[in-house]
Amino acid sequence: MITHGIHFVASSVDEGTEALRSLKERYGQCSLEEARIIVALGGDGFMLQTLHQVIDRKLPVYGMKIGKVGFLMNRFVEKDLDQRLQEARRVELHPLKMEVATEAGTTVSAIAINEVSLLRQTNQAAHIRVLVNGTVRVEELVCDGVLVATAAGSTAYNSSVRGPILPLGTDAMALTPISPFRPRRWSGAILPGNSSVRFEIKDHHKRPVSATADAFEVRKILSVDVRYDTESRIELLFDPDHSLEERILNEQFL
């Protein structure tokens, strides 16, 4: 039975704490070490946090929405959870890998499920050189920032700064400027999934820039390299009538 392989986790809001208690009483709680499925209770932010924490365990994660934003979550219903998990559709995703060189001389690596974003740290615009597969594509991007998004993350921050929404399963990444000033007409690019993107910060002492992989931030950076991490895999579970593919498609008609 699936019930004996479930490990429940929940956000710290009151609704999440109560839902966690109730589901544990109803279905039991398997230890994380022995779990076969993780059920996450919360919103998209908590789901991303959970995925980062368990990515090395390679366990499927089924989310139920408790919170304001639940793009990655299923409806919260307590009953028939065994059946829902058995019938759920599996979606496999690969995250982005970010490698950052800092002013302090360190190198920092992190994984991003939604996006890697660079943002100016002060009131002065960032000046960033953009390279794709070792070729300079934008010599000097004057902007508030720039990001690289996965297909799953293309409906998040990427979409809010007018980046393209990528259908799930697309072997591509979105490269999107944030409030660009020069080049004025450059709106970004859709890149093949095997691309490598490099950002080099120009005049970094005067115009400092930070880099974030989802919620993980590195400040005062010199350069950032981004590519898909094909060795890492994330498996999400969705109810058949509430698929991630359909949600991403619907976002393009809002």
Give the model's pLDDT for residue 13. 84
Q: Domain limits at 126?
A: 96-228
Please report, for the domain that includes residue 106, its CATH number.
2.60.200.30
Does one domain contain both 217 and 141?
yes
Q: If you average pLDDT over residues 73-82, what whole number do you get?
A: 92
Give the model's pLDDT for residue 252. 74
Distances (CA, A) of 47 to 10, 71, 102, 227, 240: 9, 10, 29, 22, 19
Does one domain contain both 41 and 72?
yes
For 153-173, what is each residue's pLDDT tens digit? 999 999 999 999 998 888 999
Does one domain contain both 37 and 87?
yes
Q: Is the pLDDT of residue 221 over 70?
A: yes
Does one domain contain both 192 and 130?
yes
Does one domain contain both 110 and 188?
yes
Give the model's pLDDT for residue 4. 63
Average confidence score pLDDT of the chain: 92
Does one domain contain both 146 and 165?
yes
Give the burial class of 229: count Cβ atoms within 10 A of its Cβ; 0-12 exposed, 13-18 middle, 19 or more buried: middle
**Active-site residue list:** 44
Please report, for the domain that includes residue 25, its CATH number.
3.40.50.10330
Does one domain contain both 111 and 78?
no
Q: Is the pLDDT of residue 69 over 70?
A: no
CA atoms within 13 A on the CB side of 136: 7
Q: How confident is the model at residue 2 (pLDDT cuts 50, 70, 90)?
A: low
**Domain count within the chain:** 2
Does one domain contain both 123 and 65?
no
The pTM (predicted TM-score) of the whole model is 0.90
Residues 6+ apart with CB under 8 A from 162: 176, 187
SS3 2: helix
Q: Is the pLDDT of residue 180 over 60?
A: yes
Does one domain contain both 114 and 224?
yes
Does one domain contain both 129 and 152?
yes
Does one domain contain both 182 and 71?
no
Does one domain contain both 49 and 102?
no
Q: What phi and psi, each to the nearest 5 degrees, are found at residue 157? A: -55, -40
